[in-house]
Amino acid sequence: MRWITHKFGGTSLADAGCIHHVAALLVARDDPAQAIVVSAMSGVTNELLSITGEAAAAQTGWQEQLTRLEQRHLDAAANLLDDDSILATVRSQLEQDFRELRQLLASLELMGTAPVEAVELISGLGEVMSARLLSAHFHQLGEEAVFVDAREVLRTRPTALMTAVDWQISGDLLADLRARHPASRYVITGFVCRRDDGRVSTLGRNGSDYSGTIFGRLFEAEEIHIWTNVDGLLSADPNQVPQAQLLDHLSYREAFELAYFGARVIHPQALSPALEANIPVFVRNTFNSDCGGTRIDSTGHPEPPVKGISGVRDMALVTIEGAGMIGVPGTAERVFSALHRADVSVTMISQGSSEHSICLVVPGSDAERTCKLLEESFEREMRHGLIQRIFSLPDIRVLAIVGEGMAGTPGGAARLFASLARAGVNVRAIAQGASERNISVAVDEADAERALKAIHAGFYLSEQTLSIGLIGPGQVGRALLSQIEHTRRRLFEQGHLDLRLSAIASSRFMRLSGTDAHIGDHTPLGAEDEALDFDRLTNHVDDGHMPHAVIIDCTASDAVADHYAGWLERGIHVITPNKHAGSGELERYRDIRGLAGSGGARWRYEATVGAGLPVIQTLRDLIDTGDRILRIDGIFSGTLAWLFNSYQPGMSFGALVAEARSAGFTEPDPRDDLSGTDVARKLVILAREMGLAIGLDDIEVESLCPEELAGKPVDAFMEALPEYDERMAGRIGEAGAAGRVLRYVASLDDKGHAAVRLESLPGDHPFAHLALTDNVVAFTTERYRDNPLIVQGPGAGPEVTAAGVFADLLRVAAHLGAKL
Question: Catalytic site residues?
Answer: 682
As a whole number of angstroms, the distance between CA 11 and CA 228 comes to 7
As a whole number of angstroms, the distance between CA 572 and CA 551 comes to 7
Number of other residues whose CB lies within 10 A of the CB of residue 131? 27
Task: Please give, one letter per residue, the 3-state secondary structure of 451-474.
Answer: HHHHHHHHHHCCCEEEEEEEECCC
Residue 633, strand partner residues? 747, 778
The kind and range of the H/E element at 500 are strand 497-505
Asked if 683 and 754 count as a contact pair (C-beta separation under 8 A), the reply is yes
Residues with Cβ < 8 Å from 591, sequence gap 6 or more?
A: 565
Asked if 587 and 562 count as a contact pair (C-beta separation under 8 A), the reply is no
As a whole number of angstroms, the distance between CA 111 and CA 106 comes to 9
Q: What is the DSSP string of 617-634?
A: HHHHHHHHTT--EEEEEE
Integer-rounded Cα radius of gyration of the chain:
37
The kind and range of the H/E element at 748 are strand 740-749
Residues 407-444: b if buried by 16+ CB within 10 A, e if exposed: eeeeebeebbbebbebbebebbbbbbeeebbbbbbbbb
Q: What angle do helix axes 16-28 and 62-80 make, rounded to 10 degrees?
A: 40
Q: What angle do helix axes 677-689 and 615-624 make, rounded to 10 degrees?
A: 20
User: Counting every residue, how long is the chain?
Assistant: 820
Cα of first residue to Cα of last residue in the chain, in angstroms, is 58
Kindly report whether the peptide bond that precedes residue 722 is cis, defined as omega within 30 degrees of 0.
no
Task: Please give, one letter per residue, the 3-state secondary structure of 652-693.
Answer: CHHHHHHHHHHCCCCCCCCHHHHCCHHHHHHHHHHHHHCCCC
Measure the CA angle with vertex 424, ends 422 and 430; round to 5°: 95
Phi then psi for 670, rounded to 5 degrees?
A: -60, -15
As a whole number of angstroms, the distance between CA 283 and CA 250 comes to 11
As a whole number of angstroms, the distance between CA 129 and CA 41 comes to 8
As a whole number of angstroms, the distance between CA 266 and CA 227 comes to 10
As a whole number of angstroms, the distance between CA 685 and CA 589 comes to 10
As a whole number of angstroms, the distance between CA 436 and CA 459 comes to 16
Number of other residues whose CB lies within 10 A of the CB of residue 394? 13
As a whole number of angstroms, the distance between CA 644 and CA 742 comes to 6
